[in-house]
Structure 1
Amino acid sequence: MISYKERSSEVELMDDLTLDQSQIKAVLADINKANRLLGGNRITLKAIQLLANKFPRTKYRIVDMGCGDGSMLREVAAFCAGLGINVELTGIDLNEKSLQIARQKSKPYNNISYFKGDILDLNAQELHCDILLCTLTLHHFHEKEIELFITKFAELARIGVIVNDLERNKIAYQLFKIFAAVFMKTEIARQDGLTSIRSGFLKKDMIAYSELLPNMKHHISSRWAFRYEWSFWHT
């Protein structure tokens, strides 16, 4: 029987850097379809709008950590253009094969760029980041790694950070099995989706992480489709 009391440490199949590009493209298409149908990315978009309203600027540099094929950034570009918010967008990922797909898909956007790198190796002078996004990425890491990442996020983001990730929930797990059987084409996406839910978070986890950053203001909310939004910003 699966326990939901603790986060799973199982590694997702998509974290294998030896996967070929055609596999990666197919799996990311499945993930993007799930986000589109369930509206998961809207959580991040609304949080960006709230931070922009709270901290007015003529232009925002927004970085997406673990950007995959760049689908989140393309949605951010369209959303901000509709609101008249001037943005410069950067995607960072460790997988060059994913980044090649991202660059190809983002050719129509002159305000999106990508580079391969480990965000822990960057500093604030190199990145020039106002808002940092972490969408469906935090659950890939173990507890000690998460502590390092969120501390680094706070250091890099001049305004704040938006985390959008999964709730560890038995009902979500069972519903995803049905959703994946109907809407997902790749076995990797089906398996990784279940692993992701087991690796997701409870609200108490998010609260515990927030306590590691006592000098920042935090907002943690349960969202639609078994998601958590955790935004934190400098005061």
Structure 2
Amino acid sequence: MGIPSLRLRASDAVELMDDPDCDPERLDRTYANFRFVNAVVSGWRGIYRREIRPELSRMTESTLLDIGSGGGDMARALARWAAGDGLRLTVTAIDPDPRAHAYATGLPPLPGLTFRRALSSELVAEGARFDFVVSNHVLHHLSAAQLGGLLVDSERLAAGRVLHGDIERSRFAYLGFGLGTWPFFGRSFIRDDGLTSIRRSFTAAELRAVLPRGWRVTQERPSRLVLRWAPQSASNSVEERAAAAPGGGATDA
């Protein structure tokens, strides 16, 4: 399998599923298959165990916002894990794409899980706050301005931790994903769009160069990046950041 140059981020590459006229059956199969792919590559089970579960309670309700939730597999997983541990967690999952929202809400409901077709900026305008703000595989979809807006929105929405997980662009990620998915997912967009996602993704150095104070990025396996923020780590006000951000902090995430 040929490997394209990954030296620079391919921010202009377009994923097939982002085409509003893409095959709806292939799109639904893509949403359905995300849970298998994310179970292997996303690392969220470990993040939940290390960074979310210790903050949850059997008595007191905690709240979590999943931004850009797509077909809802990660939101559903987080809700199931907490329930399985006997812990109280209410999950709100948002995505502006009507196709993703239709797929997610068409699945059997889970207690404590709500899907909304909304932008993070809309929840900011509502004054919403959550104990955790998370996203999975959203960062690589964003321009530099949108990334800045997402970070500002996340700070405004978070009463506690922010955790944004995504792929790190590398030859290992591209080759490993290409070979690992080659025999599978032929009737979905998983393989083609996954490779495009890797080309669109950031490296840790690229993110560190643009992150504001109070944010940090860690590299995790396999080829993962996690952006983290917590209120006590912020060294300048979100209002100052919002004024400096393009578009005043609003994001389409």
TM-score by length of 1: 0.86
Aligned to 1:160: 161
Aligned to 1:231: 228
Partners of 2:68 and 2:42 lie apart in 1 by 19
The percentage of counterpart residues that share the same residue type is: 24
CA contact (8 A) 2:27 2:189 kept: no
Pairing of 1:68-217 with structure 2 (within 5 A): 68-107=70-109, 109-123=110-124, 125-186=126-187, 188-210=189-211, 212=212, 214=213, 216=214
Give the partner amino acid of 1:32.
Answer: R
Partners of 1:47 and 1:198 lie apart in 2 by 29
* Higher alpha-carbon deviation: 76-85 or 143-152: 76-85
Call closer, same or farther: CA 1:121–1:199 in 2, change over 3 Å. Answer: same
Partners of 1:190 and 1:141 lie apart in 2 by 20
- The number of aligned residues is 229
Partners of 1:197 and 1:154 lie apart in 2 by 26
Helix, strand or coil at the partner of 1:17: coil
Give the partner amino acid of 2:98.
Answer: E
Partners of 1:110 and 1:187 lie apart in 2 by 29
Q: Which runs of no fewer than 5 residues in structure 2 stay unpaired?
A: 233-253
Superposed displacement of residue 171, structure 1: 1.7
Superposed displacement of residue 111, structure 1: 0.6
Partners of 1:39 and 1:118 lie apart in 2 by 23
Superposed displacement of residue 197, structure 1: 0.6
Q: Which runs of no fewer than 5 residues in structure 1 stay unpaired?
A: none
Call closer, same or farther: CA 1:22–1:47 in 2, change over 3 Å. Answer: farther
Superposed displacement of residue 20, structure 1: 5.1
CA contact (8 A) 2:63 2:131 kept: yes
Superposed displacement of residue 191, structure 1: 1.2
Superposed displacement of residue 220, structure 1: 2.8
Partners of 1:56 and 1:143 lie apart in 2 by 40
Superposed displacement of residue 11, structure 1: 1.9
Superposed displacement of residue 92, structure 1: 0.5
Partners of 1:138 and 1:222 lie apart in 2 by 15
* Higher alpha-carbon deviation: 39-48 or 10-19: 39-48
CA contact (8 A) 2:134 2:162 kept: yes
Give the partner amino acid of 1:14.
Answer: M
Call closer, same or farther: CA 1:140–1:62 in 2, change over 3 Å. Answer: same
Partners of 1:47 and 1:208 lie apart in 2 by 27
* Higher alpha-carbon deviation: 18-27 or 96-105: 18-27
CA-based RMSD of the aligned residues comes to: 2.4
**Residue 46 (1) aligns with residue 43 (2):** no
Helix, strand or coil at the partner of 1:88: strand
